[in-house]
Amino acid sequence: MPAAGAAYVANGGLLDPLLVSADGHVAATKKAGHGVKGKYWTAADKAERQAAKESGGEDGRVLLFRKYKVKGSLLHPYRALICIRVVAVLLFFIWRIKHNKSDVMWFWTMSVVGDIWFGFSWLLNQLPKFNPVKTVPDLAALRQHCNLPDGTSTLPGIDVFVTTADPIDEPILYTMNCVLSILAVDYPVDRLSCYLSDDSGALILYEALVEVGKFAPLWVPFCRKYSIEPRAPESYFEHVVPPQAGKATQEFLHDFRRVELEYDEFKARLDNLADTIRKRSDVYNTMEAAEGYHKATWMANGTQWPGTWIDPTENHRKGHHAGIAKVVLGHPSCGHHHGSQLNAESSPSISAMDERLPMLVYVSREKNPSYNHNKKAGALNAQLRASALLSNGQLIINFDCDHYINNSQALRAAVCFMLDQRDGGNTAFVQFPQRFDNVDPTDRYGNHNRVFFDGTMLALNGLQGPSYIGTGCMFRRLALYGIDPPRCRPNNITPEANKFGNSTLFLDSVSKA
């Protein structure tokens, strides 16, 4: 495995807008000269950093991210070009209106309205690009600010929400890889929780999550020991070159082969889950058979599944089932635990690593045809309320089930913006760009959508900030509750029951968030 440069180690590979997924990509990017301090960007916060350095920072805090802007030699000509184009477009509209030679008035009117609309849309797309700003987290400063001498951390708690709607349309393997990449992220395990929302209410997703709980105690320590990137096993084993003797240590070779073998068995168990559940249910249904008895779907512990059944019936079909919340992995205790969950065949080197895992919870909200479910927004609301009672993390980040975290430092990077002394307390959310696997090297069809993520979204960063795109976004919990930022609210939060519901436990959690 190639060694990363010192700058990469300090910033977790986050020097560029693209969150890289392998050291090779980092090296290629730097070699091309597209780094932050390249010929296109210049520091935009020199005065702020100098003032913070001289005063020691407000409240003893250092600045946790850097700002860069496009150099004036490039930006000013671009602004002038946009202004010239605006004038040209206005002159064109004036000419179109004054020279009406059409015999079909309604057709001419529609064409002019269309031109004006396209011109207005173009203008809205160009205005944010007047001041593009790149922000780069300083992970070394975050460690200095949050790490305590005793090895603990003051980082805020994070609840990670993963949403899925159907185990058929959204393959289970990719959903479980998303969860595994979250469990293996570089963040204090006692301050991280993962919630999987299953809108289908299917037993197969819950039991797949149980399988994750069995495989994670091997995968997560392996990632921690060797700084594996990315930490979604499917992507890692697909892109990594298998290590060969002489090019890697015997210890790593042993661990790699062990984990790869266990992952293949893990995938086989996921593939067999549907048959396993059906056969088990057939056995229990045969034992319980009676006149008018509906064939139920049974869990491994011999109880009926409260969600959707394989043979649908009233109150047990997709779109009409009870609410479910099951803790798959409990909240980790304080301190470090070594080798308590791995069996004797596991590598001794991995067993020596901290095996604690973040809390993992399965959530399936109640559904009834008599009321609107609000699709993904409703699922996120259910996760928000469930997590408030179980972990109540100050920060929340959501992912679609077919995504994964391709950089283990990503959560720390977002926290840098939330805790920065300049305006961190008033930051509602931090949006990550999306990247895609298996795209051809030249990206001839624009599958990475860089124009949007590295152009429009980066340009919006120079205004109030980018928009929420539905996934990969870290929120402040209080912002989702609709509570004003610190500068606009009194010191004490007194939630009203009619705003947050009638749950006393939930109301108590609001004031502690």
Q: Which of 62, 92, 193, 75 is nearest to 130 (CA)?
A: 75
- Tell whether residue 375 is among the known ligand binding residues: yes
Residues 33, 37, 39, 44: is their CA dihedral positive or negative? positive
Helices first, then strands: H and E counts in the chain: 18, 12
Q: Can you say whether residue 7 is alpha, beta or left, with left for phi > 0 and alpha for psi between -120 and 50 degrees? A: alpha
Identify the bridge partners of residue 490 per DSSP, sorted by sequence position.
none
Supply 234's token pair. Answer: 């499917």
Contacts of 346 (CB under 8 A, 6+ apart): 218, 258, 339
Do residues 235 and 177 lie in contact, with contact meaning Cβ atoms separated by under 8 Å?
Answer: yes
Rounded CA gap, 212 and 207, in Å? Answer: 9
Supply 353's token pair. Answer: 């690593």
A 10 A CB-CB count for 457 gives 22
A 10 A CB-CB count for 418 gives 21
Rounded CA gap, 110 and 107, in Å? Answer: 5
Do residues 164 and 205 lie in contact, with contact meaning Cβ atoms separated by under 8 Å?
Answer: yes
Q: Can you say whether residue 246 is alpha, beta or left, with left for phi > 0 and alpha for psi between -120 and 50 degrees? A: left
- Tell whether residue 170 is among the known ligand binding residues: yes
Q: Which of 383, 374, 393 is nearest to 478 (CA)?
A: 393
Give the SS3 label for residue 506.
helix
Phi, psi dihedrals of residue 353, rounded to the nearest 5°:
-80, 160
- Tell whether residue 255 is among the known ligand binding residues: no
Q: In 316-335, which positions are buried (b, 16+ CB within 10 angstroms) versus exposed (e)?
A: bbbebbeebeeebbebbeee
- Asked if residue 230 has a cis previous peptide bond (ω within 30° of 0), the answer is yes
- Tell whether residue 376 is among the known ligand binding residues: yes
DSSP state of 165: S
Do residues 458 and 132 lie in contact, with contact meaning Cβ atoms separated by under 8 Å?
Answer: yes
Rounded CA gap, 200 and 164, in Å? Answer: 8
Rounded CA gap, 294 and 198, in Å? Answer: 23
Concatenating the DSSP letter of every residue in 60-72 gives: GPPP-EEEEEE-H
Residues in the annotated binding site for UDP-alpha-D-glucose? 170, 199, 375
Mark the binding-site residues for Mn(2+), compressed into ranges.
376, 400
- As annotated, the binding site includes 170, 199, 375-376, 400
